[in-house]
């Protein structure tokens, strides 16, 4: 008993600065933790190889310095256990850990800090959790009981996290939430760089704001300048539209988006789809631009109209409703009952009118129609009328592209019902060559006529009756009296006719021959 008491007293009267020397007798490869305090207690029977330090405790190890109210130093393990509200450990000049309980192992250079709120600060960034493991060798802090990081205007939360303080990279896993003044991000896995302020999405992600929301499985978001890129099933939604592509780049502050590869823009209220391999989109300015296999699909009741052009422009109003569609250069379109080609096409959604400009040619069943300019009027998502302006003509195949019914004039109106031609009105300089046939198909003769105006009635897209007005001239001729009965400027353009949806991408184009 006396020996124990004497040893206790000797320790108390020795200067506290000698403690590291006394504890460092064990020969290990790791450097020993150095400690100082106002008071030290050592009881070999109750806590062998453990020193209890009280009051203004300071401990250091290979550049790291810690402070606390009370600490246990485990001599053989080269481990210190620290307590107190004033507990903190300076890992280096910028990284500081705060908490109420710390275990630091000098051999592994690993710190475990727990209880209540644990804080890791690194410059202007702070990480909050209730348990943090910090590895000084890898310079990484780890938590798995939920953590919250605050960096500038951004706050990030997750169940698990790894903070690499040397590279300023923080990896978040499980129920990740990134909150900024402009948006909220929900992700499975996310990496955030506290210096560049860029978040990298490494799993399924949802980005929400007042104006839109975005989904992807990979990408990045610069929280400083609000520039981002989304990949792997990337989709951007606003109130009525969806933009999806292999890659979507978006500048939120400048309201500029660029989509690449397998681009698809859909509008749920206006029944339209747009696709291509490159698109630019500006919501506030109200336009989108597509190239590289650009296609517009106007979805109608019984069928859809597929339009392709080398360039396509879409205009929106402030409610993001489509106001116009414009397609340029070698435009081709296909629908089961209507096909066509032209140099450029414009669709006015307000008036429901489609304009075909530059050598327009249309086909419906056996009929070929053309003019300098063509207007298609849409009603209830179906074509109700067509207007052919200047040099209008309709040619119909009668006998295997060798004999043709022909109508031409200055201007022409076509009325449709159920997407079939009901009647045609030719205004000015009407001309007609028509093969009159019996019900069994036998040829009666060839009617050749001219008049100021002409009205032609159809049944099942076939001529059923012709009426002529003013300055009527004409006669019925036997076939043998007319050799190659063709109107002036007749041309048959079946080779340019799109035969299916894929055929709208053909590059050959019709160029009219000028007189």
Q: How far apart are CA 430 and CA 259, in angstroms?
A: 50
Nearest residue to 331 (alpha-carbon basis) of 385, 286, 379, 376: 376
Q: How many helices (H) and strands (E) does the chain have?
A: 2, 40
What b-and-e string marks burial along 360-384, b requiring 16 or more CB atoms within 10 Å of the CB?
bbbbbeebbbbbbbbbbbbeeeebe
* Confidence class for position 27, pLDDT limits 50, 70, 90: very low
Q: What is the mean pLDDT of residues 415-433?
A: 88
- pLDDT tens-digit map of 283-326: 788 889 999 999 999 887 667 889 999 999 999 887 778 889 99
Better pLDDT: 299 or 9: 299
Does CATH place domain 319-515 in 2.40.50.70?
A: no
Residues 6+ apart with CB under 8 A from 6: none
Kindly give, in sequence order, each residue whose CB lies less than 8 Å from that of residue 95, ignoring residues fewer than 6 positions away: 120, 121, 122, 139, 165
How far is CA 26 from its chain centroid? 62
H runs (alpha helix) in 28-177: none
In whole angstroms, what is the distance from residue 32 CA to residue 77 CA? Answer: 10
- In the chain, what percentage of residues exceed pLDDT 90? 58
pLDDT, one tens digit per residue, over 204-245 is 999 998 878 899 999 999 988 889 999 999 998 887 788 999
pLDDT at residue 127, rounded to an integer: 96
Q: Which strand (E) or helix (H) includes residue 10?
A: helix 2-13
The pLDDT, as a whole number, for residue 297 is 92
Q: Is 504 helix (H, G, I), strand (E, B) or coil?
A: helix
Q: Which one, of 114, 138, 118, lies nearest residue 126 by Cα?
A: 118
Q: Where are the domains of the chain?
A: 319-515
Give the pLDDT confidence score for residue 25 in this predicted structure.
37
**Burial code of 204-215, b = ≥16 C-beta within 10 A, e = fewer?**
ebebeeeebebb
pLDDT tens-place string over residues 363-375: 988 889 999 999 9
User: Please, which pLDDT band fits residue 16 given cuts at 50, 70 and 90?
Assistant: very low
Considering only CA atoms, which of 257, 223, 232 is closest in space to residue 243?
257
Q: Cα(243)–Cα(264) distance, rounded to whole angstroms? A: 6
Q: Which two tokens stand for residue 375?
A: 């207007």
pTM given for the model:
0.79
Query: HEC states along 129-170?
Result: EEEEEEECCCCEEEECCCEEEEECCEEEEECEEEEECCCCEE
Residue 135 exposed, middle or buried by CB count within 10 Å (0-12, 13-18, 19+): middle
Roughly how many angstroms between the first and final C-alpha of the chain, as a whole number? Answer: 128
Query: With bands split at pLDDT 50, 70 and 90, how would you rate the model's confidence at 282?
Result: confident
**For the segment 133-161, what is each residue's pLDDT rounded down to a tens digit?**
999 999 999 999 999 999 988 999 999 99
The average pLDDT across 422-435 equals 90
What's the pLDDT at 437? 81
Q: How confident is the model at residue 513 (pLDDT cuts 50, 70, 90)?
A: low
The one-character DSSP state at 16 is G
**Cα distance between residue 99 and residue 88, in whole Å:** 7
**CA proximity to 160, closest of 142, 140, 179, 187:** 142
**CA nearest neighbour of 257 among 234, 288, 231:** 288
pLDDT above 70 for 188? yes
Indicate the SS3 state at residue 339: strand
Whole-number Å distance between alpha carbons of 180 and 164: 22
pLDDT category of residue 13 using cuts at 50, 70 and 90: very low
Q: Is the dihedral of CA 427, 429, 435, 439 positive or negative?
A: positive
Question: Across all residues in the chain, what is the average pLDDT?
Answer: 87
Q: Per DSSP, what are the bridge partners of residue 243?
A: 236, 265
pLDDT digits (tens, 9 = 90+) for 451-495: 999 998 888 767 788 888 988 888 888 888 877 788 888 999 999
What pLDDT is attached to residue 512? 64
What distances in angstroms separate CA 151 from CA 45, 127, 164, 230, one per listed residue? Answer: 49, 9, 14, 22
DSSP 448-479: EEEEEEEEEEEETTEEEEEEEESS-EEEEE-G
- What are 72-126's pLDDT values in tens digits? 999 888 999 999 988 999 999 899 999 999 999 999 999 999 987 899 999 889 9
């Amino acid at each position: 008993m006396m020996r124990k008491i004497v040893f206790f007293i000797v320790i108390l009267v020795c200067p506290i600065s000698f403690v590291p020397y006394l504890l460092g007798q064990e020969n290990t490869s790791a450097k020993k933790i150095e400690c100082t305090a106002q008071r030290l207690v050592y009881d070999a029977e109750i806590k062998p190889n453990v020193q209890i330090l009280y009051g203004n405790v300071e401990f250091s190890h290979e550049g790291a310095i810690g402070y606390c109210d009370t600490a246990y130093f485990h001599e053989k393990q080269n481990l210190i256990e620290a307590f107190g509200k004033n507990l903190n450990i300076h890992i280096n000049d910028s990284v500081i850990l705060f908490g109420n309980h710390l275990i630091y192992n000098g051999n592994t250079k690993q710190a475990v800090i727990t209880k209540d709120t644990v804080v890791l600060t690194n410059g202007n960034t702070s990480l909050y959790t209730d348990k943090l493991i910090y590895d000084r060798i890898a310079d990484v802090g780890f938590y798995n009981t939920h953590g919250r990081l605050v960096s500038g205007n951004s706050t990030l939360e997750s169940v698990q996290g790894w903070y690499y303080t040397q590279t300023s990279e923080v990896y978040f896993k499980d129920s990740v939430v990134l909150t900024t003044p402009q948006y909220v991000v929900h992700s499975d896995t996310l990496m955030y760089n506290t210096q560049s302020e860029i978040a990298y999405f490494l799993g399924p992600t949802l980005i929400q704001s007042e104006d839109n929301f975005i989904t992807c499985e990979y990408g990045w978001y610069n929280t400083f300048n609000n520039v981002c890129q989304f990949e792997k099933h990337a989709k951007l939604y606003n109130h009525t539209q969806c933009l999806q592509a292999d890659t979507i780049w978006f500048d939120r502050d400048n309201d500029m988006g660029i989509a690449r590869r397998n681009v698809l823009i859909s509008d749920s209220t206006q029944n339209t789809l747009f696709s291509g391999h490159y698109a630019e989109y500006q919501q506030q300015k109200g336009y989108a631009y597509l190239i590289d296999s650009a296609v517009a699909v106007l979805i109608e009741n019984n069928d859809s109209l597929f339009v392709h052009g080398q360039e396509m422009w879409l205009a929106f109003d402030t409610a993001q409703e489509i106001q116009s569609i414009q397609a340029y250069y070698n435009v081709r379109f296909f629908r089961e009952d209507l096909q066509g080609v032209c140099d450029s096409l414009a669709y006015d959604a307000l008036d429901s009118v489609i304009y075909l400009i530059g050598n327009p040619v249309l086909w419906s069943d056996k009929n070929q129609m053309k003019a300098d300019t063509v207007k298609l009027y849409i009603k209830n998502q179906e074509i109700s009328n067509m207007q052919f302006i200047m040099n209008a003509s309709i040619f119909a195949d009668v006998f295997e592209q060798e004999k043709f019914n022909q109508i031409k004039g200055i201007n022409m109106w076509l009325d449709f019902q159920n997407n079939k031609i009901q009647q045609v009105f030719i205004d000015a300089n009407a001309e007609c060559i028509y093969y009159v046939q019996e019900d069994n198909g036998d040829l009666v003769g060839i009617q050749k006529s001219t008049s100021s105006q002409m009205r032609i009635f159809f049944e099942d897209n076939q001529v059923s009756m012709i009426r002529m007005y003013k300055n009527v001239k004409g006669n019925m001729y036997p076939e043998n009296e007319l050799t190659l009965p063709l109107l002036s400027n007749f041309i048959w353009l079946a080779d340019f006719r799109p035969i299916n949806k894929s055929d709208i991408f053909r590059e050959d184009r019709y160029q009219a021959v000028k007189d």
